[in-house]
Structure 1
Amino acid sequence: MLHHHLSGPADAPPLVLGPSLGTSTAVWAAALPELSRRFRVLRYDLPGHGGSPAGLLPSPEPGRTTVADLTDLVLDLADHHGWDRFHYAGISLGGAVGARLAAHRPERIASLALVCSSAHFGPPEPWHERAALVRTEGTAPLLTTAPGRWFASPDTTVTAGTPFARRLLADLAAADPTGYAACCDALAGYDLRSELHRITAPALVVGGSRDTATPPAHARELAAGIASSRLLLLDCGHLAAERPRELAAALLPHASVEPAARDRKRNPGSAGGAGRSTLR
């Protein structure tokens, strides 16, 4: 199974947290104290990241890995812990995993939070090029550009020196090239734009106002395509986890209301036609 950590009361509602490409469970560490008070939190590592071996991938050869493969690995974790239904929040690639889960296995997802994620991460060629680079040279060439994508601070040299950034950059440096490249392949082939309407779980879409990897337009596209969604923009770069208090404050009420109660609030006296609200 994917390497993972469990936190919070054993009898609390389960909440699965997905990481972004190049990071590990550490990306959620600062938000964990708040989230684990109310949830049984499971944080996992992507294949080739943190403690998860790249060998977990069914086909790690170039161009073979898909987001569906990663989704199956997450479902294996939930099944192992006996969770038929769980809340899910994911950053970037971790969000794509959650979106596909919600679209294809809606009975498993109680609520969904897509954080600095997208329905489509751009043309496949740049992802295949990055995958080829990493397979040849490892992740070292990515270390100088990652802070500029990940964090909102205009002075990335200062930001990269914070304990949070140092930990994440160390995870990127230590990532298995095979696993990292396979995750790039998954992003290259991912396009859920035509299936967003299949997502029926209450969805919170969090965008970063200074995110250059998935700019706010990506968050707006997700919110526009998911019927039961709310949009929240934070002052952050690609890793909204750099704003842990604001992120946890948004996730806690979103995942804490039972779906049936949400439906009653959105549509009093109605069985369908869920509306959309937007937070600014």
Structure 2
Amino acid sequence: MSVPPYHPFRSAAAQAVYYAHDAQASQRWPVPTETTMVETTYGQTFVRISGPVDAPPLVLLPGAGSCSRMWTFTIAPLAQHYRTYALDSLIHTGCLGRSIPTRAIATATDATSWLDQLIDGLRLTTGIHLLGASFGGWLASQYALQFQQRLATMALIAPAGTIMPFQKTYLQRTILTSLIPFRWMQQRFFRWCCADLARQAPAVLEAMVDEAMLCKRCFVPPHYKHLPTLTAMTDHELQHLTIPIAVFVGENEVLYSAHAALRRLRQVAPQIHAEIIPHAGHDLLLAQKAIVNQKLVTFFRTALGRAVQETTTRE
């Protein structure tokens, strides 16, 4: 079967609508940027690049149903110190941004293979900083298990299916929301999942709902049977991660218990720095953006300084 020229959109008209929206929304990206398409065996990956050319590389992995623009409120402080690469995922979880998949990414091996090809395509070698949110946190952790030697540090924001399994309530609400494709249902889910943001900045939450509905109208629906299964890492896998790692979870997280997640990390992998962010849930990048942004900058710079000092000492 031939692939239509507007793939992965429902139609050429849907593609035009989404691209127009993306172009307008991209104007809010707060720092100078350039874009590129990187070829992989899984398709073309769209990447937004910001920050000084000679700065250490920082790769940003978006959450499910989102794209590179999810980092709009995070990128400015990071791009001051790093060459940032914010990508549109090829894993179809509801939104592909401007990336164009040609082959399903159905397993963790597929996902890490695609990401490694992408990193090669960006001409990055080692000393890479990796930042993943939600689904992107799971992807980052899977990549670290296979290619830890390429990484300098890793930070995970509300990682999904990584430290703890999903709570039944979250799974039930997710399934129900996918089965009832109306705005009011999407709005109800976001208000539950991002309750702190709903109280602090209702207009921002409504914009997120609008974008989610736009993606439902424009993109061909994802085939969830062809997506990687997000399972929590084993104790051995967590202990295998020896690079500097930070995990930030909102106290009101709904995917799993934030306190149970931190207890597990402290028991089985105390080398991982973990913090609970107050007055936030799965929305901590927005509900507590100033706090989280500062913690990210501090973590990356401290970890980088420690790595340089250790290298100097060995020499």
TM-score, structure 2 as length reference: 0.69
Residue identity opposite 1:169 in structure 2: V
Are 2:164 and 2:256, in contact at CA under 8 Å, matched by a contact in 1?
Answer: no
Match of 2:188 among 134, 140, 144: 144
CA separation of 1:149/1:111 partners in 2, compared to 1, >3 Å: closer, same or farther? Answer: same
* Structure 2 residue 155 is the aligned partner of structure 1 residue 113: yes
Secondary structure at the aligned position of 1:252 is classed as helix
Partner Cα separation in structure 2 for residue 72 and residue 147 of structure 1: 35
Partner Cα separation in structure 2 for residue 233 and residue 125 of structure 1: 21
Which 4+ residue blocks in structure 1 deviate beyond 4 angstroms? 123-133, 136-141, 262-265
CA separation of 1:53/1:260 partners in 2, compared to 1, >3 Å: closer, same or farther? Answer: closer
Residue identity over aligned pairs, in percent, reads: 18
Are 1:131 and 1:182, in contact at CA under 8 Å, matched by a contact in 2?
Answer: no
Task: Tell me the residue number matched to 2:294.
Answer: 249
CA separation of 1:75/1:151 partners in 2, compared to 1, >3 Å: closer, same or farther? Answer: farther
1:116: Cα distance to partner? 1.0
Task: Tell me the residue number matched to 2:36.
Answer: none
* Structure 2 residue 210 is the aligned partner of structure 1 residue 161: no
Match of 2:73 among 30, 33, 38: 30
Residue identity opposite 1:41 in structure 2: T
1:170: Cα distance to partner? 3.0
* Structure 2 residue 56 is the aligned partner of structure 1 residue 10: no
Partner Cα separation in structure 2 for residue 35 and residue 22 of structure 1: 23
Task: Tell me the residue number matched to 1:275.
Answer: none
Match of 1:89 among 131, 152, 161: 131
Partner Cα separation in structure 2 for residue 139 and residue 177 of structure 1: 16
Are 1:116 and 1:207, in contact at CA under 8 Å, matched by a contact in 2?
Answer: yes
Task: Tell me the residue number matched to 1:79.
Answer: 120
Query: Could you give the per-residue CA deviations for residues 7-52 of structure 1, whole angstroms, max 9, x where no partner exists?
Result: 1111111111122222222322111111110011111223332424
1:209: Cα distance to partner? 0.8
CA separation of 1:114/1:210 partners in 2, compared to 1, >3 Å: closer, same or farther? Answer: same
Task: Tell me the residue number matched to 2:238.
Answer: 196
Whichever of the two has the greater Rg, that structure is: 2
Gaps of 5+ in 2: 1-43
Task: Name the count of aligned residue pairs.
Answer: 255
Task: Tell me the residue number matched to 1:62.
Answer: none
Task: Tell me the residue number matched to 1:98.
Answer: 140
Partner Cα separation in structure 1 for residue 207 and residue 173 of structure 2: 26
Higher RCO (CA-CA < 8 Å; seq separation 6+): 1
Secondary structure at the aligned position of 1:105 is classed as helix
Partner Cα separation in structure 1 for residue 74 and residue 244 of structure 2: 21
Partner Cα separation in structure 2 for residue 230 and residue 122 of structure 1: 21
Partner Cα separation in structure 1 for residue 170 and residue 249 of structure 2: 22
**Greater CA drift, 168-177 or 91-100:** 168-177
Partner Cα separation in structure 1 for residue 240 and residue 305 of structure 2: 18
Instruction: Describe how 1:220-231 pairs up with structure 2 within 5 A.
Output: 220-231=263-274
Secondary structure at the aligned position of 1:30 is classed as coil
TM-score, structure 1 as length reference: 0.76
Partner Cα separation in structure 2 for residue 145 and residue 26 of structure 1: 21
Partner Cα separation in structure 2 for residue 260 and residue 34 of structure 1: 17
Gaps of 5+ in 1: 60-64, 271-280
